[in-house]
Structure 1
Amino acid sequence: MNEDGIATGTARRRNPRGQGDRLRAEILAAVGRLLDQKLTDNPLPVSFREVAREVGIAAQSMYLHFADKDELARAVAEDGYRRVVEAMRAADTDVAAAGAAAGERLRAQAHAFCDFARDERGVFRLMFGHDASSFDGPGRYHPARLLWHQWLDAIHACENEGRHWPDGAEYATMLLWSALFGRFALWSSTFASHDPQELTAFADRAVDTVLRSAQR
């Protein structure tokens, strides 16, 4: 029996080719919707049964994709990091195609990061939650590494156009990422204003500050 009172040893026919991946994606999307409804300190405040009900499948089917809630939490976080990086890359590609310099490309990526944080609040909190350290482990890396390298590449692109940060590109990257995440944390708290434009405005100021701190 599992935590939801469901026997995990029952056999079930496998999905036809291709449908298993689609069901996995639907499960991850369902967790995101449920997390948006349960913005609490619990890193994954949903049960397998709730997710299955949201997707419209038998709860037992969850165990064909995820052994337990820890594995599901990591999968949701990995999917979140992948999607935010995809959004940042798409924003970068769009403005670069219009001839934007590296500084404006960095700004476009910061906007995409804030848009994702605003639209995926539950998933975002899971990605950066207090239990996120559990995503590390022997033989595996934290999924945030993908996002870190995306920010770092954007800063390196600015360096390639002649900017130089006295404390190094990694320090500038950390300053920007920390500022944007910290502002989101305040924005999403119960005592703060929830005007969506505040995040974008702050992102602009944070990018301007980081760019001004560079030398030419």
Structure 2
Amino acid sequence: MNQDSAIATNARRRNPRGQGERLREEILAAVARLLDEKLAESALPVSLREVAREVGIAAQSMYLHFADKQQLAQAVAEDGYQRVVAAMQEADAQASEQGADAGERLRAQANAFCSFAVAERGVVRMMFGHDASSFDDPGQVHPARQLWEQWVNAIRECETQGLSWPDDAESVAMLLWSALFGRFALWTSTFGRHDEEEITTFVDRIVDAVLRDGNR
């Protein structure tokens, strides 16, 4: 018997005959507890050596920029937020140049957000896997703040053009963002259906619903 087996035997008595289902339930419950404990870790699923090989540089060169995987993961998340906001701002500017009203500019930004998520699934996983506690400086503003403000500003632009919702701009922005991200998450994980037109159709429907609610 190896050491791990001995520890397990001493730590827990075997279930009586016929109670195997109980053990199965205990195993699943233990996994659930461990997953809960690891939710904030958001570990980067690649090594620094793998990244160096992909770039074509010596592994030691990675440490000139990133002390460890956690620092690299944080940088990936920060860069992702900056890029998705830039994409939304560009979509907003282009729509504005074409004479779109605030509602259509909101639609353009929603489509830009989803297009980024579809194209950058791995980066998005890192972005939304990092909670505030994973950043070193306790006083540092989480980079998701810039994306949140982009959504809120888009809703407020609609308000300046006469739309009015029962709730405040922050609540409407959260509703829209949650719906879009939730639909993207389902799209990436269910039934093997990954038709991008499904996302575009959903964007139109949810933005239409938000705008109708603001016209009441």
Task: Describe how 1:60-99 pairs up with structure 2 within 5 A.
Answer: 60-99=60-99
> Distance between the aligned counterparts of 1:132 and 1:118, measured in 2?
22
Tell me how far 1:163 sits from its aligned partner.
0.9
* Matched position secondary structure for 2:149: helix
Q: Percent identity?
A: 66
> Per-residue CA shift, 1:36-55, capped at 9, x if unaligned?
xxxxx964100000000000
| Structure 1 runs, 4 residues or longer, greater than 4 Å off | none
CA–CA distance in structure 1, aligned partners of residues 134 and 47 of structure 2:
19
Q: Which has the larger radius of gyration?
A: 2
How far 1:215 moved relative to its partner?
A: 4.1
Query: Which residue does the alignment assign to 1:18?
Result: none
Going from structure 1 to structure 2, the CA distance change for 1:55 and 1:190 (only over 3 Å counts) comes to: farther
Residue 198 (structure 1) aligned with residue 198 (structure 2): yes
1:52 touches 1:59 (CA, 8 Å); kept in 2? Answer: yes
Q: Distance in 1 between matches of 2:194 and 2:134?
A: 29
Q: What secondary structure is seen at the aligned counterpart in 2 of 1:99?
A: coil
Larger % of helix: which?
A: 2
What is aligned with 1:3? none
Aligned counterpart, 2:50:
50
Deviations 1:17-53 (A, max 9, x none): xxxxxxxxxxxxxxxxxxxxxxxx9641000000000
Gaps of 5+ in 2: 1-40
Look up the equivalent residue of 1:140 and give its one-letter code.
Q
* SS at structure 2 position matched to 1:140: coil
Q: Number of paired residues? A: 175
Paired letter, 2:92: D
Amino acid at match of 2:144: A
* Structure 1 gaps, min length 5: 1-40
Maintained 8 Å contact 2:43/2:70: no
Report the TM-score, using the length of structure 2 for normalisation.
0.77
Query: What is the Cα deviation at residue 132 of structure 1?
Result: 3.3
Q: CA RMSD in A?
A: 1.6
* Counterpart contact for 2:95–2:105, Cα < 8 Å: yes
TM-score of the pair, normalised by structure 1: 0.77
Secondary structure of the 1:201 match is helix
Q: Structure 2 CA distance, aligned partners of 1:158 and 1:114?
A: 20
